[in-house]
Structure 1
Amino acid sequence: MAAVVARAHRLVPSRGWTDGGKPLARRIPSTIVTSITAGIVLAGGRSSRMGTAKAALEWHGSTLLRHVTGVVQRAVDGPVFVVRAPGQELPELDREIIVCDDPREGMGPMQGLAVGLRAAAEHAARPDVAFVCSTDLPFLHTAFVRAVLAGFGSDPGAEPEVDAVLPIVRGFRQPLTAGYRTALAPLVEELLGKGQLRPAHLLAECRVRVLDEDALLADRALAAVDPELEAVVNVNEPADYEAARRRPEPEVIVERYGVLATRGGGRGPRVVRAATIGHAADLVGLAFDGHILAAVNGDQIRSDGTLPLQAGDTVAFISADAGG
């Protein structure tokens, strides 16, 4: 995988160097390898079995598309693209999401993949790889996205480079919860021109790293939060959606700091079930408005109440006002 190698410095204790009895730190050069990752969410499916657009389905106070794009945003460090069908209306999304129009309808996910990979390849951030998924994945988790993208890294004894990372869960290939190199855009376009419209046609032309269930669950972070690999479960029919919607929201820990610490039932962390930052705030008696910010798992300061939360998250609310 193409990578940018940057020289950086880290601080380490220096033996024998002191300042008033306290050890000084000296700067030791280290090499950090970074690679930009992107996300592509395909929203242009016809949703014929569902009977209504999946992207706009309600999901715990938000929409299914907002939920899935938010999960992908949290997992990658580059841009996230949504590919929509010609004339398709989308629900409200985070302002950083890049919407791409698919000029050709009825060509299936390969056409959306071509549009998304081309947009990613031409983006100023120049992401090397992208996690690609459909919009109907209510249980997608950031840990799954990261585990798939980690498949592009070099393992001892493995091929040094692959074009695609393909999960196989419960015996089924998962090409719409997979990783692809953005450089594949011309090949996808070429295959479409030949009438080869299935992801299997693309994978047949690629160097593919397969991640079966054992390989996926070797990732400790993923095994801890999604041992059944429900990240790949999609909703195709109303009964699927209704069953998914009835499940309890994820269990998260909420902490409050500063002037917020005594609101909503006393100090200390609280465990609540909430699918968004806004709902978590409501449950501890906070109005998530412009005066409050949220830090998720120690970083990602957010003011968007629709940002999705996941099992294992810790949300810290702080006052955005000076002195709070």
Structure 2
Amino acid sequence: MQKKHQKHTKLIRRENDIFAPNEIAILGTKCSIIAGFVQKMSKKLQKKAKTAYFDASHNNEIQAPILDNFTAHHSGNLNINATHKLNEYNERIRFADYDLVFINGNHYKGAKQILILDNEKEASVLKRLDQLDRIQFIVKLNNDSNYFDFLVAKYPTIKNLRCYHIDDVDAISKHIDNLIQEKIAPVQGVVLAGGKSSRMGKDKTILNYHGKSQIEHTVSILEDNLLTTFVSVATNQQLENFETIQDKFVNLGSFGAICSAFQHDPNKAWLVLATDVPFVDDKLIKLLLKHRNPQKIATAIKGKSKQFVEPLIAIYEPKAYPVLLSYLAQGYSCPRKVLINSDVEIIEVDDDLIRNINTPKEFQNAINDLKKQSNV
């Protein structure tokens, strides 16, 4: 049988809905009621998730601007008036950073839906009946809001769905929060082993601090915390007894290793751990996992007296991947620069826990200090 020609490299894609990684369209009532509903839900969820609202303009006379206008305010607000053609691929980049995007379903279809029953909008619901293919729950605008006959005919089990009154803000927001939690990516581990170890004069991954090679020790720390763990290796580097991810971003060091992990699986969060930090222990990894904040692009460790976070003791969320690639497109390949200039959860620890070892003298000092700790 002749092998089918494949023009493009088949990559694993991030799991997206139509416009965003996680979206829900609200329809069945007036746009003003939908907008108010979204505002109430977003206010309830603001400390738990990063949300956005995707709506359509009702202004029939608006014209494309002569020039794109970006107005920034010191409060952190940015108003944009720009020529824009709606395109689902571009919107997925725009919304990649959000945990949930609410969509005005009167204008755009969403992969999941919330149906608000409004007796005055029967014709509107009938018009969009085929869009209601993944209704999450029902909201009644009024106590006498009806399930339209055509709804029941099309979806016979619709009355079995959870139903709320529109004033049940706490219960509805909790339901939506559960939908957000379901989409939080599981964490996998990646241990960095592709460095050149030039200052040490020998491969740092084979150094013995804890009765076995440092790479074995580092992998075991992550696996003991129930993380499926891979070892990042340089191009053409081979390692036995470990699941490996080969660096596809050549000559970019740890930055390339992180991007290669995301290329391997963009639907996982990656706990990145270097092999030259022998004082990192099980307690520190548990602390990092405990304080993980999926709202941010990453959760990172920082020494209390250090100015910047440690990019190689950190959990990178799937939303970090497009940010990393955008920095690469600008000519930057420093993961610390990305974290410094992004929204990151920071966990402060004693400096000694995260000191990295790069030279033979530092190695011997670390051995002596570890022996002292074990004798305490």
TM-score (norm 1): 0.53
Instruction: Report how far residue 167 of structure 1 moved.
Output: 2.1
Change (3 A) 1:204 1:60: closer
Matches within 5 A, 1:110-149: 110-121=255-266, 126-127=267-268, 129-149=269-289
Q: Tell me the equivalent position of 2:330.
A: 194
Q: Greater CA radius of gyration, 1 or 2?
A: 2
Aligned mates of 1:249, 1:117 — CA distance in 2: 39
1:248 pairs with 2:371: yes
Q: Tell me the equivalent position of 2:191.
A: 41
Q: Which runs of 5+ in 2 are unaligned?
A: 1-48, 50-98, 100-177
Letter in 1 for 2:282: T
Change (3 A) 1:136 1:186: same
Q: Secondary structure at the match of 2:371?
A: coil
Please identify, of 184-193 and 137-146, the stretch whose mean Cα deviation from structure 2 is larger.
184-193
Aligned mates of 1:204, 1:244 — CA distance in 2: 28
Equivalent of residue 230 in structure 1, options 352, 355, 362: 352
Instruction: Report how far residue 229 of structure 1 moved.
Output: 5.3
Matches within 5 A, 1:50-69: 50-69=200-219
Q: Secondary structure at the match of 2:319?
A: helix
Question: Which 4+ runs in 1 deviate beyond 6 A?
Answer: none
Matches within 5 A, 1:162-181: 162-169=296-303, 170-172=305-307, 173-181=309-317
Instruction: Report how far residue 38 of structure 1 moved.
Output: 1.5
Q: Is the 1:117–1:183 contact (alpha carbons within 8 Å) kept by the matching residues of 2?
A: no
Aligned mates of 2:300, 2:276 — CA distance in 1: 18
Q: Which runs of 5+ in 1 are unaligned?
A: 3-30, 154-159, 214-227, 252-272, 274-310, 312-324
Q: How many residues align?
A: 195
Q: Tell me the equivalent position of 2:251.
A: 106
Q: Secondary structure at the match of 1:167?
A: strand
Instruction: Report how far residue 51 of structure 1 moved.
Output: 0.9
Q: Secondary structure at the match of 1:83?
A: strand
Q: Is the 1:164–1:209 contact (alpha carbons within 8 Å) kept by the matching residues of 2?
A: yes
Instruction: Report how far residue 175 of structure 1 moved.
Output: 1.3
Letter in 2 for 1:203: L
Q: Is the 1:120–1:182 contact (alpha carbons within 8 Å) kept by the matching residues of 2?
A: no
Aligned mates of 2:202, 2:274 — CA distance in 1: 15
Letter in 2 for 1:117: F
Deviations 1:249-277 (A, max 9, x none): 875xxxxxxxxxxxxxxxxxxxxx8xxxx
**Identity value in percent:** 24
Change (3 A) 1:87 1:211: same
TM-score (norm 2): 0.46
Change (3 A) 1:47 1:54: same
Task: Give the structure with the larger helix fraction.
Answer: 2
Letter in 1 for 2:259: A
Q: Tell me the equivalent position of 2:119.
A: none
Q: Secondary structure at the match of 1:144?
A: helix
Q: Is the 1:43–1:84 contact (alpha carbons within 8 Å) kept by the matching residues of 2?
A: yes
Letter in 2 for 1:166: A
Change (3 A) 1:87 1:48: same
Q: Is the 2:189–2:227 contact (alpha carbons within 8 Å) kept by the matching residues of 1?
A: yes
